[in-house]
Amino acid sequence: MSDTKSVNNLESQDSVKPVILVVDDEDTIRSCLKEALEAEGHKVYTSEDGGNSLRLTKELIPDLVILDLKMPGMNGLDLLREIKLHDQNILVILLTGHASVDSAVSAMKAGAFDYLEKPFKMEHIKVVVDKALSTQSLMREVSRLRAKTNITGDVNIIAVSKEMKEIVEHVKIIAQSPSSTVLIHGESGTGKELIANYIHMMSARNKYRFMEVNCAALTENLLESELFGYEKGSFTGAATTGKAGLFEVTQRGTMFLDEIGEMSISLQSKLLRVLQERKFKRVGGVDDINIDVRIIASTNRDLEEEVKKGNFRKDLYYRLKVLPVFLCALRDRKDDILPLVKHYIHNFNKEFNKNVNNIPSGIEAILKNYDWPGNVRELKNVIERAVLLSNNATLSAEHLLLGSEIGAKATGEDEDADQSISTIEKQHIAAILKETSWQMTKASKILGINRTTLYNKIKHYDIKQ
């Protein structure tokens, strides 16, 4: 009898063990391999047939599959091809009692990591498994480094201010517990995704996927099908083969649920079950799928207030905020402003082949005194535009588009330039609105704030078109 039911015992662990799936129709071989490899510290699941093991492969996303070449139903070579179609990074070792040159060549062409004959010596199996897992670890490390390198301009967290240094030290401690949920609070543009990614990179899950999901960008039904997947025919337009959800493909990794406060109450209930039981059902499905995924959520809303209003589940709120992180606004950590400016100038110089290397003292004062309603995102957008438009080595107030009066003072390098934060903010917003011909979506994107905030600012400052 197959012991695939052991998958129901899948649980979150503080250290992520390599996962191996053994597929063989002989119970003795399955049992012996499972016992020997678990003694080596690996997490081992077994299956007796090809069709079921393909389902397990999609559910578990194992590091290594050891499978028999000759099995009833789907044979090992066909299963190998299906596994590689699903995920090229899963390594496969084939076992057979009917070795031949032709089958060996076919297996290696299909992507097998190695090919071993029965009867085999367990010590030989252990050596080959160790070699395969070392290769897998190296492959995942390369992928992790590539992903880290591709985080444009935000690989490093700029932490000069006392406030930001405390946050960085806090998240380093949080990262040491790779299973506990995290809730990141902060205004739009404060860098919640960057902090979530940093927690993932510093944790034991960093060899696996970091999956970002923007809860505000998708409709309720679409978000549900993306997160949980769906079975074929579960709704009009569903793929004939069904589809795995993001929870499945993020197995043993980290899922970042951005703007969790926008999630509907019904979806909140399903997410709560995932957090409590570590399992879920696909849309239209009947079978539970077990997962080991860390959840990091973020919001710019006051969730305690949303709970009082009935817009957010109280039990989910407390489940999420096991490890809370609060990101302060850029205006509350002013010591980081100029280091961030220099960081972004350096990055955009390389991107646009520019050579901006001089920031007049007057401009420094303006940048430090400005309120930055869009926080770090707005600062990045402002510097990107200024560097792109620059035609010399000096950062120009004209290209910052922070208002003509400010530009005149900055150009004169008046170190005592004293513009109130509200005046600077009003002029900056007015300038962006004029630049975009009052296109609210475009203007809010440049400013790094949402449309509602922009409307409120326009009303507050009585800005006229």
pLDDT in tens, 206-241: 888 999 999 988 888 889 988 998 887 666 555 556
Least confident of 1-10, 42-51, 175-184, 386-395: 1-10
Asked if residues 255 and 208 have their Cβ atoms less than 8 Å apart, the reply is no
Q: Choose among 16, 301, 331, 307: nearest CA to 183.
A: 301
Domains 157-328 and 331-461 share a fold: no
Of 176-190, 352-366, 406-420, give the range with the top mean pLDDT: 176-190
Q: How confident is the model at residue 164 (pLDDT cuts 50, 70, 90)?
A: very high
Spatial contact of 232 and 241, defined as CB atoms under 8 Å apart: yes
* CATH code of the domain occupying 157-328: 3.40.50.300
Tell me the per-residue pLDDT of 356-376, one tens digit each, with 9 for 90 and over: 888 888 888 889 888 898 999
User: Structural domain boundaries of the chain?
Assistant: 4-146, 157-328, 331-461
Lowest mean pLDDT of 104-118, 182-196, 242-256, 260-274, name the range. Answer: 104-118
- The pLDDT, as a whole number, for residue 237 is 57
Q: Give the integer Cα–Cα distance in Å for 346 and 357.
A: 8
Give domain 4-146's CATH superfamily: Response regulator (3.40.50.2300)
Residue 134's pLDDT band (cuts 50, 70, 90): confident
SS3 442: helix
Percent of the chain with pLDDT over 90: 33
- Pick among 3.40.190.10, 3.40.50.300, 1.10.20.10, 1.10.8.60: CATH of 331-461: 1.10.8.60
Q: Round the average pLDDT of the chain to a whole number and report it.
A: 81
Whether 329 shows a pLDDT value over 90: the answer reads: yes
| 228 vs 242: CA distance, rounded Å | 11
Backbone angles phi, psi at 249, to 5 degrees: -75, -10
Alpha-carbon distances of 273 from 5, 93, 283, 291, 441, rounded to whole Å? 20, 36, 14, 12, 36
Q: What is the pLDDT of residue 419?
A: 44
- In tens, the pLDDT along 391-413 reads 888 887 777 765 333 333 433 44
Q: For residues 108-135, give the mean pLDDT.
A: 84
Q: Residue 32: is its pLDDT beyond 60?
A: yes
Report, as an integer, the average pLDDT of 71-96: 83
Chain centre to alpha carbon of residue 239: 26
Mean pLDDT of all residues in 42-46: 91
Q: What is the mean pLDDT of residues 431-449?
A: 81
* CA distance readout (Å), 226 to 237, 243, 272, 416: 14, 9, 17, 54
- pTM listed for this prediction: 0.59
Whether residue 144 contacts residue 207, with contact meaning beta carbons closer than 8 Å, is answered with yes
Give the pLDDT of residue 422: 62
Q: Is the pLDDT of residue 9 over 50?
A: no
